[in-house]
């Protein structure tokens, strides 16, 4: 089996599974309880927060646990605009954000906020001049993802953070779900106020994530109740998942340089295999340094993506069509449309995503299987075109 859908979710580390099982059996207390069993659970929460903070070079109190990337994004965005609406009514994002960001901005637009959706160039990158033109003294939030989850384009986060020095009222949020543990993220150096992470994207458990919240920045909670997580995320902490996430983050950071080197070489192999087939079109920038090393996206114009996915599945190769949150939709990709691709490309995309688990031989196997599948599907595609 060749699993190439790591951007959707990842198999948890054995160490993570074993640790979580042990925690569930031995440390079942409520961290808010005052007795010893509760205090043991609270100590695990405190230690996990410290582990994650050390990896990110931030303070432990700046890490707030959530149920995952979607909640972290919603908390960051809605918590910011609710808290600082008195400062201004203008918020900025891009047209290629994950649905949990993009659709949140759409809802805020319905609520009366003035929203600027920044366009991207043909490689999928936000242009700094467009952002600079959009910023005003009324801007209270800028939310730009670190790595596009669909086609892997890296965004100019450091440059954006530097630009926002001149706009102190604007809070800078980064959806870093596809970047944490894979690419350099330094909230302090990059002047990031808020960024989101999801554990299951880096071989941790599902249903747990965190939001980095810069010290001194206050947010309005989405959930009210017991006041956990410094009051911005009420609810009894999921101790086994929190510990499992901390372990996954630590392992990812311990191997980040190896990950980058290995996946960069894999990307070269995957890209070469795709470019060798004339019917296929790569997405994004031709410059490798512009693209995340662990994601490759291409289109097979004229052929339904689902058909190619299932054809590759016959070879026990598992890929996806786009973000797992919207892969069931048959409409053209919003992200690819934004990059200027027509329907023939935007509706027929395939995403490969991988990790340290895959070998160079796997890329060669994929290339052979892909060529075989395309050759088999081409007559079908021609027939379909004639019928239309």
By annotation, the residues acting in catalysis are: 325
In 3D, which of 204, 202, 211, 197 has the Cα closest to residue 245?
A: 204
Token readout for 103 is 């659709």
Token readout for 107 is 């809802």
**The residue to which tokens 């892997």 are assigned:** 152
Strand arrangement of the beta sheet that strand 63-66 belongs to? 63-66, 209-213, 194-198, 171-175, 139-143, 90-94, 114-118
Count Cβ neighbours within 10 Å for each residue of 339-359 and write b for 16 or more, e otherwise: bebeeebbbbbbbbbbbbebe
Token readout for 348 is 């027929």
Q: How far apart are CA 196 and CA 191, in angstroms?
A: 14
What separation in angstroms does the CA of 223 have from each of 85, 175, 238, 240?
19, 20, 16, 21
- Going by their DSSP bridges, the two strands 139-143 and 90-94 should be labelled as parallel
What separation in angstroms does the CA of 256 have from each of 100, 239, 281, 310, 335?
26, 25, 29, 32, 27
SS3 213: strand
What separation in angstroms does the CA of 134 have from each of 90, 139, 157, 289?
10, 9, 16, 27
**The residue to which tokens 């747990």 are assigned:** 208
**The residue to which tokens 């384009």 are assigned:** 153
Q: How far apart are CA 219 and CA 232, in angstroms?
A: 7
DSSP secondary structure string for all residues of 299-317 = E-TTS-HHHHHHHHHTTTE
Q: Which residue blocks in the chain are alpha helix, DSSP H?
A: 14-26, 36-56, 69-84, 99-110, 128-134, 157-163, 239-254, 256-275, 305-313, 334-338, 343-346, 360-387
- Residue 348 DSSP symbol: S
């Amino acid at each position: 089996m060749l699993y190439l859908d790591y951007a959707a979710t990842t198999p948890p580390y054995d160490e993570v599974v074993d640790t979580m099982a042990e925690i569930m059996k031995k440390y079942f207390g409520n961290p808010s309880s005052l007795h010893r069993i509760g205090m043991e659970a609270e100590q695990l929460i405190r230690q996990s927060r410290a582990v994650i903070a050390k990896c990110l070079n931030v303070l432990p109190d700046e890490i707030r646990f959530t149920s995952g990337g979607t909640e972290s994004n919603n908390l960051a965005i809605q918590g910011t605009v609710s808290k600082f609406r008195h400062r201004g009514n203008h918020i900025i994002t891009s047209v290629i954000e994950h649905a949990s960001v993009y659709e949140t901005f759409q809802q805020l637009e319905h609520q009366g906020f003035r929203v600027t959706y920044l366009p991207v160039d043909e490689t999928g990158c936000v242009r700094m001049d467009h952002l600079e033109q959009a910023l005003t003294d009324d801007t209270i939030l800028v939310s730009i993802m670190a790595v596009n989850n669909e086609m892997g384009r890296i965004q100019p986060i450091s440059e954006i953070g530097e630009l926002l020095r001149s706009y102190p009222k604007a809070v800078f949020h980064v959806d870093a779900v596809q970047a944490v543990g894979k690419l350099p993220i330094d909230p302090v150096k990059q002047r990031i106020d808020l960024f989101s992470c999801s554990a299951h994207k880096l071989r941790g458990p599902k249903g747990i994530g965190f939001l980095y919240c810069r010290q001194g920045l206050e947010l309005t909670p989405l959930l009210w109740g017991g006041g956990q997580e410094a009051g911005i995320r009420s609810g009894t902490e999921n101790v086994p998942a929190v510990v499992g996430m901390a372990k996954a983050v630590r392992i990812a950071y311990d191997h980040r340089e190896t990950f980058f080197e290995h996946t960069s070489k894999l990307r070269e192999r995957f890209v070469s295999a795709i470019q060798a087939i004339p019917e296929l079109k790569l997405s994004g920038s031709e410059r490798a340094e512009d693209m995340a090393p662990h994601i490759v996206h291409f289109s097979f114009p004229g052929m339904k993506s689902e058909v190619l996915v299932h054809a590759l599945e016959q070879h026990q190769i598992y890929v996806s069509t786009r973000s797992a949150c919207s892969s069931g939709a048959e409409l053209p990709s919003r992200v690819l449309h934004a990059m200027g691709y027509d329907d023939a490309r935007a509706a027929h995309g395939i995403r490969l995503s991988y990790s340290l688990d895959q070998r160079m031989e796997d890329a060669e196997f994929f290339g052979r299987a892909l060529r075989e599948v395309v050759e088999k599907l081409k007559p079908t595609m021609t027939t379909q075109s004639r019928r239309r």
